[in-house]
Amino acid sequence: MRRCMPKLAVALLVATSVRAQSIAIKDAPTAVIQTVSMRFPDAKIAGVSTETEEGKQVYEVTLKQNGRNIDATTTPAGQLTLIEREITARDLPVSVTKLLRTKYPRATYKIVEEVTTVSGASETPSFYELLLVDAKKQRLEVQVALDGSRILKEEKKKAGDPNE
């Protein structure tokens, strides 16, 4: 039961978010920038946005490291809560790839991320999240269980959606 709670919390967090609003890096709270810079010392901050999730303000800091994006979500006080690391489709476990090929044949993967829940000093991989275009040319955001056993969430996206 304990392992299910972070996944449920992340699913609820993602499901109840409001559109993000970009802000200047200099306008982000110092604690947010310090936390993210300390956690990812080799990454360069590319942008910051703020949004409301479950009635609470959060900041998402986008970083670049080795040509890939990392999105770090924090509270205004700088507490890290979620990390989304861009990976390649080749990095996905075989079971995840198999499920995706079965459910979305001929789909093109636009973004592939490993999502990690952060609680204090503990970081727990939670699921994979993909933005894909299926054979019908629909843009979908899909969350897949780490073991590839099931699709956790599927949401249609509009082209140009800023929350991709």
- Taking the chain (164 residues) in runs of 10, the rounded mean pLDDT of each run is 44 54 96 97 97 94 97 97 97 98 95 97 97 94 98 87 51
**Would you say 80 and 123 are in contact if contact means Cβ atoms under 8 Å apart?**
no
Look-up of token digits 């991709």 = 164
Taking Cα atoms as reference points, which of 103, 158, 153 lies closest to residue 129? 153
Q: Give the domain extent around 127.
A: 4-157
| Predicted local confidence at residue 1, as pLDDT | 41
In the numeric block, which tokens belong to residue 90? 């080749």
Tell me if 163 is assigned to some domain: no
| Predicted local confidence at residue 157, as pLDDT | 86
The pTM for the full model equals 0.84
Tell me if 90 is assigned to some domain: yes
Tell me if 164 is assigned to some domain: no
**Would you say 24 and 47 are in contact if contact means Cβ atoms under 8 Å apart?**
no
| Predicted local confidence at residue 18, as pLDDT | 58
| Predicted local confidence at residue 159, as pLDDT | 67
Tell me if 124 is assigned to some domain: yes
For position 44, which CATH number holds? Answer: 3.10.450.360
State the total domains in the chain: 1
Q: Which residues contact 16 (CB under 8 A, 6 or more apart)?
A: 53, 54
